[in-house]
Every structure is written in structure tokens, then in C-alpha cells.
Amino acid sequence: MSRLAKKPIAVGKTDVSVTGGMLTVKGSKGTLTKRIHPSIEIAIEPTGVLVTPRDRSRLAKQLTGTFASHVKNMITGVETPYVKKLILEGVGYKMEVKGKEVVLSVGFSHTVPLMIPEGITATVEKNAIKLESTDKDSVGQFAANIRRVKPPEPYLGKGIRYENEVIRRKQGKKAL
């Protein structure tokens, strides 16, 4: 069993409830819900939220730590939203938010529109986009989808990268 699940998860100012196989976390910034796997049991106690396996199967033991991590992320997210920042580098590259989609112009013959998922707010400042949401999974996945359009290349460093990502640069050809 996971070490994360052995200790109760502190709730703080959030309201956590389990009804009908669904976990609901309410906080000042929003509400998150997640379906609970049948082999996991989540109990709300005065000390915090406790995640335990229902049986001794390998799957139940594996999912215990995973769900403990999900519960911890949900509790943290409804109090302080998760933020991912992506930086666009390259001459003539630009991005903008049009309604419910991010439009990228990154050197292709056409623009690349990406729909912004529900619950995520995107703001563009010059060559950077800031994604903010209470759900850690959705922010991380949408940031990865944006980065996948034009990942940074090692010779000139052009492309879309995370704010704190370091790109290892290659030397390229030498002129004799």
C-alpha cells in the first residue's frame, strides 16, 4: 500500500463529501467531482480524508496511492488554482485567444486552433500564455496539447516550451 494513503489528508477550509460513488470537493475557488473506483474506499473523518483499499487485490493497492494523490490535488486546487505558463519563441510566431479557443500561428501554412476545455482560463501576454484552473489534470493536459503543436527544437530553440523548461542546445554545423 502507498505511503501517501497511510496518513489522513488534511481538509482545511474545504468541504469534502462522498455520495453514490462520487467524491465532491467544494472550496472558495470552485467545485470538483471525481468518480471513485469500486475497489477504493474513501472515508471522511475529523482528522481528514482517509483512502483505503476495499480488498487485498494488487489493483486496489495500486489505486490507493493514486486516489490519495488525486484527493490531495483536488483539495489544493479548490483553494489556490493551478497555473501553467507556456512561452512561445520564434520569429513571426504568435498566439491569441479568440472566444473559446487558442489560435496558434507557428510557422505552418495554416493557423492551429485549440478549444479551451471547460473550467480553464487562458490569457495571452506578448509571447506567453497563462493557463489557470482548479483541476490539476486538465491544466496539465491542455498545456501538453499546446506544447505538442510545436515542441522546442534544439538548434535555434524555436517552439513552445514551459516557463521553467531548459532546452539543451546543439552546436549545429561549423564553417571551415
**Which has more confidence, 111 or 175?**
111
In this predicted structure, what is the pLDDT of residue 7?
A: 86
- Closest listed residue to residue 71, CA positions, set 96, 93, 91, 44: 44
Measured at the CA of 80, the angle between CA 20 and CA 21, to 5 degrees, comes to: 10
Q: Do domains 15-79 and 82-162 have the same CATH topology?
A: yes
Domain ranges of the chain: 15-79, 82-162
- For 15-79, CATH gives 3.90.930.12
Express each pLDDT in 91-100 by its tens digit.
999 999 999 9
From CA 150, how far away is CA 106, in angstroms rounded?
7
d(CA 41, CA 71): 12
pLDDT band (50, 70, 90) for residue 1: low
pLDDT band per the 50, 70, 90 thresholds, residue 2? low
What letters, b where the CB count within 10 A reaches 16 and e where it falls short, cover 80-93?
A: ebbebebbbbbeeb
What does the pLDDT average to over 146-166? Answer: 94
Confidence at residue 22, expressed as pLDDT on a 0 to 100 scale: 95
Is domain 82-162 given the CATH code 3.90.930.12 in the classification? Answer: yes
User: Residue 132: helix, strand or coil by DSSP?
Assistant: strand
What local confidence, expressed as pLDDT, does residue 176 receive? 66
The helix (H) or strand (E) run that includes residue 147 is helix 136-149
Confidence grade of residue 12 (pLDDT, cut at 50, 70, 90): confident
pLDDT at 129: 96
